[in-house]
């Protein structure tokens, strides 16, 4: 039996690692580290650095694998992502068999938390179709938590709900019904530009929790172009970017009505 440990590692700050995560990594027989190509080589390096900092078990081995990429020729977003997840599951499965066999404990370091807008659990389900696998999730600090902490804001108004959505849905469907606060993840196109900006405040951050952290906040009408320009420069400088933002109607960036 394979025990698959999905370890949330936060948003890039090694200090975000919980004691539970450290114990889990040291309990693993094998840690798998994905490589995402040259432009994102520092993401793999950060995982290596975390392992170097916290591993005290000499029996824990580390193996790396190349992560498949999505095929842009596949029609339809859902089909494209499902095919991609199938390919990743195949790579995980082969890496486990090559380096561990069919028995032992293997860990994967997951950005943020494995349960919030992350597909690691869905990929793990695919692996379990062909291997005897049990899954253990070790929660981590999400980019949403890191963003609200960086801006020192609560995510919700008093007694009010908020919605977590994606940039694609924000562009296609507009402002979600039933909430005045919207957290937007997985947005590569600055989809806030598709909204009427009047009366909306944005709290934006890139690389939140990391040394490279950038944060901007203010009325959307004033901040939109600045965020787009800052984001483009940061992506050019680093070769990649992870960003997230919160939008709120009827409140300024200091939390006042």
Residues 6+ apart with CB under 8 A from 11: 111, 112, 141, 142, 143, 146, 207, 208, 209, 210, 242
Distance CA 156, CA 199 (A): 17
* The CATH classification of domain 2-138, taken from the options 3.40.1010.10, 3.40.190.10, 3.30.360.10, 3.40.50.1370: 3.40.1010.10
- pLDDT value, residue 217: 98
39: exposed, middle or buried (Cβ count in 10 Å: 0-12, 13-18, 19+): exposed
Confidence at residue 228, expressed as pLDDT on a 0 to 100 scale: 97
Amino acid 240: pLDDT:
87
pLDDT in the model for residue 40:
60
In words, the CATH class of domain 143-249 is alpha beta
Q: Is residue 68 a contact partner of residue 38, using CB atoms and an 8 Å limit?
A: no
pTM for the whole structure: 0.83
Phi, psi for 162 (deg, rounded to 5):
-135, 160
pLDDT at 38: 63
CA atoms within 13 A on the CB side of 97: 11
- Would you state the pLDDT for residue 45? 84
Task: Provide the pLDDT for residue 238.
Answer: 87
The pLDDT assigned to 187 comes to 94
pLDDT digits (tens, 9 = 90+) for 64-87: 998 888 888 888 888 998 999 999
Q: For residues 204 and 243, is the Cβ–Cβ distance under 8 A? A: yes
Residue span(s) of the chain under CATH 3.30.950.10 come to: 143-249
Give, rounded to a whole angstrom, the gap between the first and last alpha carbons of the chain: 56
What is the pLDDT at residue 7?
A: 96
Spell out the per-residue pLDDT of the chain, length 257, in tens.
999 999 999 887 888 899 999 999 999 999 999 887 665 667 788 889 899 999 999 999 999 998 888 888 888 888 998 999 999 999 999 999 999 999 999 999 998 888 888 889 999 999 999 899 999 999 999 999 999 999 999 998 888 999 999 999 999 999 999 999 999 998 999 999 999 999 999 999 999 988 899 999 999 999 999 999 999 999 999 888 999 999 999 865 554 44
């Amino acid at each position: 039996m394979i025990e698959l440990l999905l370890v949330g590692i936060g948003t890039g700050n090694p200090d975000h690692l919980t004691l539970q995560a450290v114990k889990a990594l040291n309990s693993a027989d094998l840690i798998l580290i994905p490589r995402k190509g040259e432009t994102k080589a520092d993401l793999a390096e950060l995982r290596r650095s975390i392992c170097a900092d916290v591993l005290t078990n000499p029996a824990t081995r580390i193996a790396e694998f190349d992560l498949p990429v999505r095929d842009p020729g596949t029609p339809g977003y859902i089909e494209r992502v499902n095919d991609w997840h199938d390919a990743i599951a195949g790579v995980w499965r082969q890496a486990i068999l090559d380096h561990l066999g069919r028995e032992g404990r293997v860990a994967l370091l997951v950005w943020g938390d494995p349960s919030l807008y992350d597909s690691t659990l869905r990929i793990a389900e695919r692996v379990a179709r062909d291997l005897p696998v049990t899954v253990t999730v070790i929660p981590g600090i999400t980019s949403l938590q890191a963003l609200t902490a960086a801006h020192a804001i609560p995510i919700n108004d008093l007694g009010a709900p908020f919605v977590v959505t994606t940039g694609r849905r924000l562009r296609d469907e507009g402002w979600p019904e039933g909430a005045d606060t919207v957290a937007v993840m997985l947005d590569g196109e600055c989809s806030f530009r598709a909204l009427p900006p009047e009366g909306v405040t944005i709290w934006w951050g890139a690389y939140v929790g990391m040394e490279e952290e950038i944060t901007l906040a203010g009325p959307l009408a004033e901040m939109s172009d600045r965020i787009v320009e800052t984001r483009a420069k940061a992506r050019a400088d680093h070769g990649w970017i992870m960003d997230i933002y919160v939008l709120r109607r009827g409140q300024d960036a200091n939390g006042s009505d």
